[in-house]
Amino acid sequence: MLIPTIQALQILGGSGTTEEIYDRVAQILKLPDEVLEIPHGSSSQSEVEYRLAWSRTYLKKYGLLQNSARGVWSLLSTTINPDGLDPKEIVKTVRDTDKSKVVPSDPMTETVEAIETLEELAWHQQLHKMLLELEPSAFERLAQRLLRESGFIQVQVTGKSGDGGIDGVGIARINGFLSFHVLFQCKRYQGAVTAGQIRDFRGAMQGRTDKGLLITTGTFTRDAIKEATRDGAPPIDLIDGEQLVQRLKELGLGVKITMIESVEVDTAWFAKI
């Protein structure tokens, strides 16, 4: 998916979020829902999301992409010609320049298979695994903490059976002035949330609030995403497994970031003495 990633960013005007890149690549490759919903191993990422993540990483190390702290990826040049790029050459070059990750090259191996050899190096895979191992009540408490750290107030976990899948309530504050009630639902599993489940959640919201939030360790089908923002219906914001682990990282919840100091001797400086 290296070349389609470049093509997607060109269509998007040179930059885009991971979600925008995902949507464009799916369109370029004409991937059906049954392919987009295939999970990657035991993680909550889909196979497509996983391969796209490593495609972005390879392209960044190859010097074609860069990303900001806000999760926006962009092309380093507007004159890149995708037709002139060789995916196998990109993979080989990146491996050769990163000695700690060198893997013997097999000319018959597809690019996607080469990317999979780096699975154990992805920190978010470990975090996904930890989330899936949580008890349902612990996952609800994690969602509560996540919302509080994100600026919500009066966040309560209800977890009542027969409550239409409503797991909690909270109040979102905007710039300290505006506020609105939000009902949230937590789904801790590997599968993809369907449009039917979005409709069920919206039905449970009926008459209680105009805003919903669904958090899952899995993914959402394309129909579910469309249903969540359907015209004339109360909107439901969606947080999938990949967005969840990224948010946990940003907030420092269950994730420790270690900064490594790099010291280099400036030989040019000594030459000037």
In the predicted structure, residue 254 carries a pLDDT above the cut 80: yes
Rounded mean pLDDT, 48-68: 89
Q: Which backbone phi and psi does 128 adopt, to 5 degrees?
A: -55, -45
* Of residues 72 and 119, more confidently modeled: 72
Residue 264: per-residue pLDDT: 85
Helix/strand/coil (H/E/C) assignment for every residue in the chain: CHHHHHHHHHHCCCEEEHHHHHHHHHHHHCCCHHHHCCECCCCCCEHHHHHHHHHHHHHHHCCCEEECCCCEEEECCCCCCHHHCCHHHHHHHHHHHCHHHCCCCCCCCCHHHHHHCCHHHCHHHHHHHHHHHCCHHHHHHHHHHHHHHCCEEEEEECCCCCCCCCCEEEEEEECCCEEEEEEEEEECCCCEECHHHHHHHHHHHCCCCCCEEEEECCEECHHHHHHHCCCCCCCEEEECHHHHHHHHHHHCCCCCCCCCCCCCCCHHHHHCC
Per-domain residue ranges of the chain: 2-121, 129-251
pLDDT averaged over every residue in the chain: 82
Sheet holding 178-187, edge to edge: 152-157, 168-174, 178-187, 212-216, 236-239
Q: Are 204 and 176 in contact (CB under 8 A)?
A: no
Question: Binning pLDDT at 50, 70 and 90, where does residue 72 land?
Answer: confident
With respect to CATH, is domain 129-251 assigned 3.40.1350.10? yes
pTM of the model: 0.64
In the predicted structure, residue 139 carries a pLDDT above the cut 70: yes
Determine what percent of the chain is predicted with pLDDT higher than 70.
86
Torsion from C-alpha of 112, 117, 118, 121, nearest 10 degrees:
150
Residue 160: per-residue pLDDT: 62
CA angle 230, 231, 232 (to 5 degrees): 115
Question: Binning pLDDT at 50, 70 and 90, where does residue 117 land?
Answer: very low
Question: Binning pLDDT at 50, 70 and 90, where does residue 122 land?
Answer: low
Residue 59: per-residue pLDDT: 92
Residue 216: per-residue pLDDT: 93
* Of residues 42 and 229, more confidently modeled: 229
In the predicted structure, residue 104 carries a pLDDT above the cut 50: no
* Of residues 144 and 160, more confidently modeled: 144
Q: pLDDT tens digit string along 3-30? A: 999 999 999 988 888 888 988 999 999 9
